[in-house]
Amino acid sequence: MDFFPVFFDIRGKDCLVVGGGEVAARKVSLLLQAGGKVTVVAPVLSATLALWAEKKDIIHRAERFSPDTLGESILIIAATDDMEVNREVSQFASARRIPVNVVDNPALCTFIVPSIIDRSPVVVAVSTGGAAPVLARLIRARLETLIPSAYGRLATLTARFRDQVKAQFLAPEKRRIFWEHILQGPVAEMVYSGQDQAAEAALVRELSGDIDKTKPQGEVYLVGGGPGNPDLLTFRALRLMQQADVVVYDHLVSPAVLDLARRDAERIYVGKERSNHTMRQEAINDLLVRLAQEGKRVLRLKGGDPFIFGRGGEEIETLSEHGVRFQVVPGITAASGVSSYAGIPLTHRDYAQSCVFVTGHLKDGSINLDWNGIARENQTIVIYMGLQGLAVLCQELIKHGLKPSTPAAIVQQGTTHNQRVITGTLATLSNQAEAAQMKPPTLIIVGEVVKLHDKLAWFHPGQYEEGSIIPSFVEHN
Ligand code: SAH
């Protein structure tokens, strides 16, 4: 180890920054966050620093650095672009045994500043000893994605109960077990999902011993898995996917996304393709309740967003009726993911000021939609589940006032490496889709914005050849 890692308490203490540019400003910002009393020595200040000086967040001494400036500082940072000044600061500070950091110059430093992941009061610091600051930043970026942003709130909550827990569990071993249970269990989950009051109440119950430990505490995570490309998952989705005991998923979830669930989690396929209703909705609802009541952490993984044509609402209604805890994680819905990857903005100042999402699912061979509300000028229409009824959909839109020449697109398996986009008009799209043998899942976009595809298409996943690429969506039979 080239450096000894420590965390300084600088609250209310004098810290000196030499230099008035943006680099200095970044360091000043960190010092201020940690409660330091910051003096900046520089003939002129950058806009950011000038603002802070005006607000009296910092003290500005408009002069060049001189040894007298050191004053009572407990640490010093030199961030000027003048090597001579930096060296001078380093020398004088070292001579007076004041810790000194010269930005980007480890040789002149007695301490270095790490990359920081701030979940105050939890702080993670990463350092490569000055060898590769960019690497430290990359490591930091990875950690940022792994550590839930609510860790700080969780730590604050546990701090409030520390003494009480200490008094109640005299043996350190018992305390450790208690805290591990809290930090890895439902209390922590409640904090992560923003239910702080419920978390505190649960912690109090745990302490009072009111909880029946023989009754397992399951939970359901209703998670949106996005339109297929695993890059489009949220951090929270990924975290919950990796801690679930059992995964309940349907055909819209791509294997690449499913792959990210915990390796040893049990996987239950509950299907639902048009003609092949593997499990009725009521049975799925009951299954979720049963698994949670067995004490399992159940990941209900859905394509896109669970609250958009996903029947997620119905599933959690049943859970709530049975008193099963749940949390909902939004996902990128097909309309938004697929349109981005197809280069078709859903709104545009010149072409569309509104956008509607509708389902083209046929019921008894017909489609019941508010056609007059949908078929409007300057409005983009996104149709989910519309492949089978495509011909009827196009006819109805024309019948209700849209021009046959209105641009329209159909996108198959959008966002994945099997994405196919076909553009045409309301008059032609149905025949084109048939000729191209489009298969679900497909999304249909109607409106002038479709014209932008030619100019804005940016995602070119390679020519689609039937059978030549591993399909992103497996056919389940
Ligand atoms: N909850 C999902 C929608 C479920 S309905 C969401 O928010 O996206 C199923 C329909 O979504 C499919 O019939 C299709 O119209 C659309 N869909 C989902 N993923 C898609 C994809 N990758 N490409 C094209 N359409 C998709």
Residue 317: helix, strand or coil by DSSP? Answer: helix
What is the CA 429 to chain-centroid distance, rounded? Answer: 36
The one catalytic residue in 27, 250, 296, 302 is 250
pLDDT at 274 (0 to 100): 53
- Tens of pLDDT, residue by residue over 119-144, are 999 999 999 987 888 898 899 888 88
The answer to whether 44 touches 62, Cβ cutoff 8 Å, is yes
pLDDT at 422 (0 to 100): 97
Strands 14-18 and 37-41: parallel
Residue among 251, 308, 309 whose CB has most ligand 1 atoms within 8 A, to mutate:
309
> Which regions of the chain are under pLDDT 50?
464-477
Note the CATH architecture for domain 336-476: 2-Layer Sandwich (3.30)
**CATH 3.40.50.2300 matches 219-332:** no
Report how far ligand 1's centroid is from the alpha carbon of 309 (Å).
Answer: 8
The answer to whether 228 touches 251, Cβ cutoff 8 Å, is no
What does the block give as tokens for 269?
A: 């396929």
pLDDT at 186 (0 to 100): 85
What is the residue extent of each domain of the chain? 14-113, 151-208, 219-332, 336-476
In sequence order, what are the residues at sequence separation of 6 or more whose Cβ sits closer than 8 angstroms to the Cβ of residue 115? 125, 126, 127, 133, 136, 137, 139, 140
Domain boundaries 14-113, corresponding CATH code? 3.40.50.720
pLDDT at 159 (0 to 100): 94
Give the whole-angstrom CA distance, residue 141 versus residue 168: 39
By C-alpha distance, which of 475, 7, 49 is closest to 269? 475
The answer to whether 298 touches 220, Cβ cutoff 8 Å, is yes
pLDDT at 131 (0 to 100): 83
Closest atom of ligand 1 relative to the 302 alpha carbon: 1
Closest atom of ligand 1 relative to the 411 alpha carbon: 24
341 lines ligand 1 (CB under 6 A): no
pLDDT at 473 (0 to 100): 46
Closest atom of ligand 1 relative to the 332 alpha carbon: 7
pLDDT at 477 (0 to 100): 30
Catalytic, 245? Answer no
Domain boundaries 151-208, corresponding CATH code? 1.10.8
**HSE-up (13 A, CA, CB side) for residue 373:** 7
The one catalytic residue in 13, 272, 439, 451 is 272
Closest atom of ligand 1 relative to the 444 alpha carbon: 15
Report how far ligand 1's centroid is from the alpha carbon of 25 (Å).
Answer: 46
- Tens of pLDDT, residue by residue over 57-89, are 999 999 999 988 888 899 999 999 999 999 999
Give the whole-angstrom CA distance, residue 423 versus residue 443: 12
Catalytic, 272? Answer yes
Strands 407-412 and 420-425: antiparallel
pLDDT at 1 (0 to 100): 86
333 lines ligand 1 (CB under 6 A): yes
What does the block give as tokens for 214?
A: 């023989």
Give the whole-angstrom CA distance, residue 330 versus residue 304: 8
Give Cα separations from 415 to 332, 418, 436 (angstroms).
11, 8, 19
pLDDT at 474 (0 to 100): 40
148 lines ligand 1 (CB under 6 A): no
385 lines ligand 1 (CB under 6 A): yes
Q: One fold for both 151-208 and 219-332?
A: no
Residue with the smallest CA separation from ligand 1 atom 15 is 384
pLDDT at 467 (0 to 100): 40
Q: What is the CA radius of gyration of the chain?
A: 29
Residue with the smallest CA separation from ligand 1 atom 24 is 442
